[in-house]
């Protein structure tokens, strides 16, 4: 037996949601041109200061459709360990020598990572995550 999901929108929210559906239907993105058009709709909604519940629900659904298309057709490769380390150093305004001094990580290991000769080790990931106060998963993309 099928179960019923209780879902409804208040009249005003339903009206704004349906108005958006009529203007730009929620269907799978099929092309880059369709992607651009979806982006314009999203930009217009995001530029509004206060979205009602119907508009928020529509924007969430359209964002999911855009993300699905982009993941399939325009996937972005994860940053290399070298790029990630450079970014973290820049963001914190420190040098590899500073990090080595404060964490005990060998300067040579960090130099090898930055030169692309070596990837992060598990120990480096734990130490750098603690030092930069980030989740370790950020550093494991290439692990």
pLDDT at res. 136: 93
**pLDDT digits 0-9 by tens, 85-113:** 999 999 999 999 999 999 999 999 999 99
Q: Which of 141, 125, 121 is nearest to 76 (CA)?
A: 141
3-state SS of 102-126 is HHCCCHHHHHHHHCCCCCCCHHHHH
Helix ranges (DSSP H) in the chain: 11-23, 32-47, 53-73, 81-92, 96-103, 107-114, 122-132
Domains of the chain: 11-73 (no CATH), 81-139 (1.10.260.40)
pTM confidence score: 0.58
Cβ distance 103 to 133 under 8 Å? no
Of 138, 135, 142, 133, nearest in space to 94 by CA = 133
CA atoms within 13 A on the CB side of 55: 14
């Amino acid at each position: 037996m099928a179960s019923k999901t209780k879902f409804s929108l208040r009249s005003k929210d339903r009206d704004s949601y349906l108005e958006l559906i009529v203007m730009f239907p929620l269907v799978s993105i099929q092309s880059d041109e369709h992607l651009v058009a979806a982006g314009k709709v999203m930009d217009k909604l995001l530029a509004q200061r206060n979205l009602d519940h119907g508009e928020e629900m529509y924007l969430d659904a359209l964002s999911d459709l855009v993300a699905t298309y982009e993941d399939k057709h325009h996937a972005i490769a994860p940053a290399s360990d070298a790029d990630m380390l450079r970014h973290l150093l820049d963001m914190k305004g420190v040098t590899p020598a500073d990090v080595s001094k404060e964490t005990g990580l060998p300067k040579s290991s960090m130099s090898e990572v930055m030169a692309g000769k070596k990837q992060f080790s598990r120990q480096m990931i734990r130490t750098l995550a603690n030092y930069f106060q980030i989740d370790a998963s950020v550093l494991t993309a290439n692990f």
